[in-house]
Structure 1
Amino acid sequence: MSEGSDLTAQQGWQVPAHDTHVFREKRAEHALVIPVINEGEKIRAQLRAFAAAGLPVDLVMADGGSSDGSLDGGILAECDARALLVKTGPGKLGAQLRMAYAWCLQEGYAGIVTMDGNGKDDVTHVRRFLAALEAGADYVQGSRYAPGGAAINTPRDRSFGNRMIHAPILSLAARRRLTDTTNGFRAYSRRYLLDPRVAPFRDLFQRYELLFYLTVRAGQLGYRIAEVPVSRRYPDQGKIPTKIAGWRGKADILAQTLKAALGRYAP
């Protein structure tokens, strides 16, 4: 039994039902969590890039229930993944992250880096998050708008919404200026996620709420926050890779943002 393996039962965490597949032993101090669902060749290319980068992290895949076979065919062995968690219970991104974060904390990781599985991020930038965690940061936000970052082919409405609406709202609530708060490329320390004043393992976090809440809560509780530059590349043409569809999706994001800023998710 690994360090902290009874945390879920001890602390009453709410974690969605899931299947756990562990392929090898723990080797690193930090984990890289990639939430994914039906990302096809994008995630396969991303995993090969991860393998080529030789990053000092244990890879944990958080599958929301993919049906496209994108994680089949030996790709996880090829990239030396440590574990695959497959959500079988309800919920979307927030549920996937709760599932993976709980497992990583149970396994004793000192910190967790998260990046999307749609191929928009540069996997080599994981090292920047690890350096920030090792320097004492508790919440590390990746930003394409920070000096040294790159926003490549970002749709204008996304850039406007993020920089003019989302980031200012959450920065004000967090009492710390951040520039790219919709970006899922980020990291958290173990002590931050285990703080009972944070309590991230609750069923109310089903979609994007958890991302926005953890941004706000870190500043409110006085945790050390860092922002590191990253690149984020959208395709030159064709369909934009996103799970946020239409005006209804954008309205939902705004509602979740305002709830996080107003403290509606605080325990």
Structure 2
Amino acid sequence: MRVLVVLPTYNEAANIEEVLRRVRANLPEGSVLVVDDGSPDGTAEIAERLGEELGQVAVLRRSGKQGLGSAYRAGFRWGLEHGFEAMVEMDSDLSHDPAALPSLVAPLAEGYDLVVGSRYVPGGSIPNWSKSRWLLSRGGNLYAAWVLGMPVTDSTSGFRAYRAEILKAVDLDSVRADGYGFQIEMCHRVLQAGGRVTEVPIRFVDRVRGTSKMSTAIVVEALGLVTWWGLRRLADRLAPRRQRRPGRSGR
């Protein structure tokens, strides 16, 4: 199975070399696409230099910061155009351990369409998080699962693997959410498309170097979108079925 790891970057010069070396070491048969949103700190240049050394590393340069969801959509389209059979998404700040890549990709060969690296299944963990932050994350995931009827414990996780076929079935051009909202929307759409979803445990750690891109606005966006999708889902379930009009005989 040809696997592409998509790494969105913006000002990740402090982390990109280590993450690329560790990804290539843990998934030697896989390839990497760095989607860089015009990082002024030289992230793209570092990635291109390492690509020449490590091999199987490409860089997709974009003009200006366009958002996480947009970066992943661009990366998935690139992967589909280049014939990859599976796409992995993960952060570029080492909060996702590249050593977990083999266990994340393995269930795809068993017929699963989406494999989510979960912090909330047995074996998953989030060291050093405050109780309030844990409650916000856990509560948001429980809310999304309840409102959208998703059997997924960690739909906001950004460490996951997709089969190419399910990405083709999902209309990427119509996906508009970013941040947490993008992750939830993709889970929801995969399930709506009839995809099989499973979760594997991961250990999530906060970045050590660089600045976090997460903001309150992204969290608020996600909660608002989940509520809107949930209302639409409820409306669809309550809407009466259209009755067929009796056809004319033509006589």
RMSD after superposition: 2.5
| Distance in 1 of aligned mates of 2:129 and 2:54 | 29
Query: For 1:97, which of 72, 93, 100 is the aligned residue?
Result: 72
Aligned partner of 1:34 in structure 2 is 7
Change (3 A) 1:257 1:223: same
Instruction: Judge which range, 64-73 or 254-263, deviates more.
Output: 254-263
| Distance in 2 of aligned mates of 1:249 and 1:124 | 28
Aligned partner of 1:12 in structure 2 is none
Q: Is the 8 A contact 1:143 1:230 kept in 2?
A: yes
Helix, strand or coil at the partner of 1:148: coil
| Distance in 2 of aligned mates of 1:259 and 1:155 | 29
Helix, strand or coil at the partner of 2:34: strand
Query: For 2:188, which of 216, 220, 229 is the aligned residue?
Result: 216
Residue deviations 1:22-61, cap 9 Å, x none?
A: xxxxxx6111111111122122221222233243211111
Instruction: Judge which range, 146-155 or 107-116, deviates more.
Output: 146-155
2:95 maps to 1:116 = no
**So what's the TM-score if we normalise by structure 2?**
0.81
2:219 maps to 1:250 = yes
| Distance in 2 of aligned mates of 1:63 and 1:81 | 16
Task: Look up the equivalent residue of 1:56 and give its one-letter code.
Answer: E
Q: Is the 8 A contact 1:170 1:212 kept in 2?
A: yes
Matches within 5 A, 1:13-162: 29-73=2-46, 74-88=49-63, 91-162=66-137
| Distance in 2 of aligned mates of 1:109 and 1:262 | 36
Helix, strand or coil at the partner of 1:183: coil
Q: Is the 8 A contact 1:60 1:83 kept in 2?
A: yes
Task: Look up the equivalent residue of 1:172 and give its one-letter code.
Answer: W
Q: Which has the larger radius of gyration?
A: 2
Q: Percent identity over the alignment?
A: 28
| Distance in 1 of aligned mates of 2:168 and 2:231 | 22
| Distance in 2 of aligned mates of 1:155 and 1:43 | 27
| Distance in 1 of aligned mates of 2:138 and 2:108 | 25
Flag structure 2 segments of 5+ consecutive residues without an equivalent. Answer: 234-251
CA displacement at 1:260 relative to structure 2: 4.2
Residue deviations 1:180-202, cap 9 Å, x none?
A: 2221001111111111xx31123
| Distance in 2 of aligned mates of 1:89 and 1:69 | 13
CA displacement at 1:243 relative to structure 2: 1.3
Residue deviations 1:68-112, cap 9 Å, x none?
A: 113424223333243111122773111111111001011111111
Q: Is the 8 A contact 1:212 1:260 kept in 2?
A: no
CA displacement at 1:226 relative to structure 2: 0.6
Flag structure 1 segments of 5+ consecutive residues without an equivalent. Answer: 1-27
Q: Is the 8 A contact 1:174 1:217 kept in 2?
A: no
Q: Is the 8 A contact 2:93 2:207 kept in 1?
A: no
Aligned partner of 1:228 in structure 2 is 200
Helix, strand or coil at the partner of 1:228: strand
Change (3 A) 1:203 1:227: closer
Residue deviations 1:210-239, cap 9 Å, x none?
A: 322111122233311010111111258x98
Task: Look up the equivalent residue of 1:217 and give its one-letter code.
Answer: R
Helix, strand or coil at the partner of 1:227: strand
Change (3 A) 1:61 1:148: same
Task: Look up the equivalent residue of 1:86 and give its one-letter code.
Answer: R
Aligned partner of 2:142 in structure 1 is 168
Helix, strand or coil at the partner of 1:232: coil
